Amino acid sequence: MARTLLVGILLGLVGLPMAHAQEVPADNRYRTGDTYLQVETVQTDLDGRTATLDVRWDASWHDAENWDAAWIVLKGRRPGGPLVPLRVRGAPAMADNRSPDGAEAAFDVPDDRVGFFAYRAGQGEGTNHWRLRVSWAAANGVDAGSIEGVAALGVEMVRVPTGEFELGTTRSLTGRRESTSRDWLGGTPPAPLSALFRVDPDGEDLYGGSYPVTSEAPISIGTDAGDLYYIDAEFLEDFSSGDQQGTLSAAFPKGYQGFYQMKYEVTEQQYVDFLSGLSPEQARQRWTTDPGEAGGPPPSRYRHTITRSDGHYRTERPHRAASYLSWQDALAWADWMGLRPMTGLEFEKSARGPKPARFREFVWGVREVGASDHFVLDRRILDPGGSLAATEDGDERVDGNVHVQLRPTFEGADNYCTPGGNYFPYRTACRELEGGDGGWGPLRVGIHGVGSGGVRLAAGAGYYGAMDLGGNLLEQVVTLGHPQGRAFRGTHGDGRLGPQVRATNPDWHADADTSAYATRGAGWPSHPNHARTADRFSGLRRGGTRRSPAAGFRAVRTLP
């Protein structure tokens, strides 16, 4: 598999000095391995209620401060019915260590025993390959004697440690509008839009700089000194930043408390596994053959390959980010996997880390310091080969890790191929992906980390190693701009879904007629400005059943 990427050339293309590209030493946190997490049940003892699992993934790491992990849940198979959640009894035991370097495993089992975390016990990096023996118990009144098999499912996670960080940006609304920095297209506003900031009644537009998060204590949203505040996007018909009021309770996850975050967005295979674990009637609530807008192109036009035939769900691209996930779909998946949605504050923490907020900062840690490092036409972060390999092996050439196609910002722009992002993916673009299955839409998750050499800028990764936080698909998160969002208490899923195949956590408001949520980061058709850490262009969205070719999801779980 070809994986050549000359980091020196890459940095020259964007005009950045090496110091800006490597905020931490190159390591596996900014790599995508040859093998994504694989979890397989190789033996089940129904009498002893144990299961032996084969767990393997590449590009694992554990340094002096942090590490990655696998989150693994067990499901019970019963004759003719959907999978049911099982509970983990005690810490797993090592049955056989097959890791090439002999790395030992460590385990964390949360109090609710919905699943467990497995990670390297000591510092190092490489491939983890373990045979684990796990004891299980039936849950929720299920008769353990009815279980005829055990299925194991897992996702790769990165650990975001407990600690202080900053929200928002370092300039005011006026400063944002009057910025002299060169932008993508004349007339487009500099970013970020509606960033969070600390109120200063004597300052410009109430602006008092970025907002420090130093604990999980309640945060007041308003215009009093020291409050958290933001600029509304009311000039847009379908988008808003929120109601600019209320309080984030002590239970609302603000990002100070550490959490595990999915390294990648939910993939098509992970969503297929979810659908396959439901009853046929349940699965129909969480998938449709035509999730797009009425009269629009078929989902396959936007690289969505999940299909159903002969009663079975399949995907042609198992590692491609799963698009067309509604907010209710996302919450149901998170509940089923024992995880939870992340908040917009946690999104910023995972992207920025402990670094100070910077104006116009992208989620992969750089900002414009001059015209030479702008993402402009025919100057790309990756080598400008322009073609998509049939296997999506990491040699793909896409623009700026933000979006795959070049887009005009305004109708009738003089240079129709100027990068911009017009939010209308069905209109003619300058070019489509070539090779593979082509088209417009998301790529394989973590694809920029394949040839990154462990360099964050090349991988387009958040500070702690989460891939594709900006670009690929929009990140659906809990909003702070609506009472529904502010009611969130950070509860975790328990593996059970309600009668309408919705998440059952009351604080998630999954059963609301019109769900309130937000999106962060940039999707593949977005203006690259929205890949900036502080941008909140869609700080409040309504309509939990809407499925978009630009929207995906990744879940989190608070540290045990």
**Side-chain half-sphere exposure of 336, counting CA atoms within 13 A:** 31
Indicate the DSSP class of residue 8.
H
For residue 16, give the 3-state DSSP assignment: coil
The residue among 484, 117, 524 whose CA lies nearest residue 323 is: 524
Amino acid identity at 552: G
Domain map (residue ranges) of the chain: 38-160
For residue 411, give the 3-state DSSP assignment: coil
Omega cis (within 30) before 17: no
* Residue carrying the six token digits 């001059």: 370
Give the list of residues 6+ apart from residue 475 with CB closer than 8 angstroms, or none. 265, 342, 347, 469, 519, 520, 521, 552, 553, 554
Give the list of residues 6+ apart from residue 102 with CB closer than 8 angstroms, or none. none
- Residue 470 is predicted with a pLDDT of 87
Give the list of residues 6+ apart from residue 2 with CB closer than 8 angstroms, or none. 389, 393, 395
- Residue 21 is predicted with a pLDDT of 33
Contact 164, 179 (CB under 8 A): no
- For residue 338, what are the CA distances in angstroms to 75, 133, 147, 154, 559? 11, 20, 20, 11, 13
Amino acid identity at 174: T
- Residue 23 is predicted with a pLDDT of 45
- Residue 512 is predicted with a pLDDT of 81
The residue among 240, 220, 236 whose CA lies nearest residue 228 is: 220
- Residue 278 is predicted with a pLDDT of 97
What is the rounded (10 degree) CA torsion for 389, 395, 401, 402?
-10
- What's the distance, Cα to Cα, between the start and end of the chain in Å? 38
Indicate the DSSP class of residue 540.
E
- For residue 261, what are the CA distances in angstroms to 98, 142, 375? 26, 30, 28
Phi/psi of residue 239, each to 5°? -130, 150
- Residue 172 is predicted with a pLDDT of 64
Distance CA 276, CA 270 (A): 10
Amino acid identity at 444: R
- Residue 8 is predicted with a pLDDT of 28
Indicate the DSSP class of residue 302.
G
Phi/psi of residue 219, each to 5°? -120, 125
Distance CA 364, CA 292 (A): 30
- For residue 205, what are the CA distances in angstroms to 191, 198, 242, 387? 16, 11, 18, 46
Q: Encoding tokens for residue 381?
A: 């972060």
**Which fold is adopted by the domain 38-160?**
Immunoglobulin-like (2.60.40)
Amino acid identity at 319: H
Amino acid identity at 342: M
Mean pLDDT per 10-residue interval, the chain, length 560 residues = 27 29 60 94 96 97 95 95 96 97 97 98 96 95 93 98 95 54 43 84 85 98 95 62 95 98 98 97 93 79 91 93 96 98 98 92 70 34 40 50 39 37 39 59 85 80 94 94 97 95 96 88 78 89 90 96
